[in-house]
Amino acid sequence: MPARARSAWTKTLGQLLLILALAVVVGLLVGQPWPVLTAAALGVVAWHYWKLRGVLLRLTARQRLDPPTGDGIWNELDRLLHRGQQEMRSRKRRLVAMLRAYRAAAAALPDAIVVVERNSQRVQWFNEAATPLLGLRYPRDIGAALGERLQPLPISRWLAAGRNAEPLMDTPSPANSDLRLSLRLIPYSDELWMLVARDVSKLMRLEQMRRDFVANVSHELRTPLTVVHGYLDMLDPADQPEWAPMLAEMQRQSQRMTQLVEDLLTLSRLEAQDTVVDESVAMAPMLATLKREAEALSHQRHTIVIEDQAALDLWGSTKELHSAFSNLVGNAVRYTPAGGSITIGFRRDDDGGALLSVRDSGYGIPAAHLPRITERFYRVSTSRSRESGGTGLGLSIVKHVLNLHQARLEIESEVGRGSMFSCHFGAERVHPRDQSHEQAMPPSYAVGK
């Protein structure tokens, strides 16, 4: 117990004993000690009741009161309670100021912020930017179902995914069709989620300008490259033997530039697509074609193995999927030293879909490069890529093709032990295989059991 409280308690106890002692003396003098002592005790109780009433009034008072003065246990208790109230009010003021600052900061953000109740998906709060970007208005939409307010966006289904909801990167605004939004769901508590909507219209326009520029430049480069190829083909190294090395290098570089232009055009076309026209993709002939292409590119320097264990075909674009798979197989051959092996596998996935994998025993990719390996023109080793004839666009093409088929690419690699590129297709993208395709395969094509 603090010294001041101990002193107040001692003083109050001394006063109580003194009053009782005086009451006993007075009672003895008048010849009636018990009635006098009883009256004195009742007076003490009444006094303590009066002091207790004062403390309760101070506790329940809404206006600020002056700090108590005087000595005694009740005054000390009153002072302690007053100090606690002052500290509580001070903390409350700080909390209110912080809350106002946070709300002001959220209101000033250019991004729309919407707080949504998890179970009911109803709007709890939103900032000012939510009005021009999402069309929400205060107080009309407080407590309203967010999915109904943001029609025709598929918000309800998206919110149902919860923590697994992928960001919606290019979505039209329900308030203004000219605006493009990026939507992200942040579950920051068990009861409340936060929806963040950002205006990406300018970014989308710049991205479209970039795509158009690349496509136009690549298309314009086709004509001069065709002319260069024509004149190079007309030059006979036998006429000028000393020019033979230069002509060979010129032809090699012009072919590399032609391949680069074709890859850029392919990538531009894929970026402009939102969907593909589904058709049945026969995987048995596809795998046989990939093996022939790998053998032609390898020139018998590698062992090419096909492991077909799925007995499934895919729904999608045969042309686009062949382009993606061919890029993976071509990379495996280019970056695997002579004497290595390339295994092309096709099997059922654990989720009911299918998985096509290309595994090699090549150089491998350092872990630091894996997050960026599918970027345009990104190279792990510039000199090795140029020697192999790669353009740096193959994996970017693969990624875009798989995105169009709602599939994903997984990469596993270890330096010195090779790499495995796996294409995962969902259950909606597979169907039982047409057996006539397997019967048409050449004897060299083996179907795994």
| pLDDT value at residue 5 | 53
What does pLDDT average to over the chain? Answer: 80
Which residues are CB-contacts of 66 (< 8 A; sequence separation ≥ 6)? none
| pLDDT value at residue 157 | 75
Domain 279-439 has CATH 3.30.565.10: yes
Q: In angstroms, rounded to a whole number, what is the distance separating the alpha carbons of residues 99 and 105? A: 10
The string of DSSP codes covering 13-24 is: HHHHHHHHHHHH
The total of other beta-carbon atoms located within 10 Å of residue 12's CB is 18
| pLDDT value at residue 421 | 94
| pLDDT value at residue 249 | 83
| 336, two tokens | 């695997």
Whether 121 and 147 have beta carbons less than 8 Å apart is answered as yes
In sequence order, the β-bridge partners of residue 355 are 347, 424
- Token pair 């992200």 is found at 184
Whether 389 and 372 have beta carbons less than 8 Å apart is answered as no
In the chain, where the domains are located: 3-103, 109-199, 203-272, 279-439
For the stretch 201-254, pLDDT in tens is: 888 888 778 777 777 777 777 778 888 878 788 887 777 788 888 888 888 888
The string of DSSP codes covering 296-353 is: HHHTTSSEEEEEE---EEEEE-HHHHHHHHHHHHHHHHHTS-TT-EEEEEEEE-TTSS
Check: pTM over 0.85? Answer yes or no.
no
Please give the average per-residue pLDDT across 369-373, as a whole number: 83
In sequence order, the β-bridge partners of residue 180 are 172
Report the largest interatomic distance among the alpha carbons of the chain, rounded to a whole angstrom.
152
Domain 203-272 has CATH 1.10.287: yes
| 285, two tokens | 């002939």
Distances (CA, A) of 178 to 133, 146, 171, 199: 11, 21, 10, 11
| 12, two tokens | 């109050």
Least confident range from 140-144, 165-169, 318-322: namely 165-169
CATH number for the region 109-199 comes to: 3.30.450.20
Whether 344 and 290 have beta carbons less than 8 Å apart is answered as yes
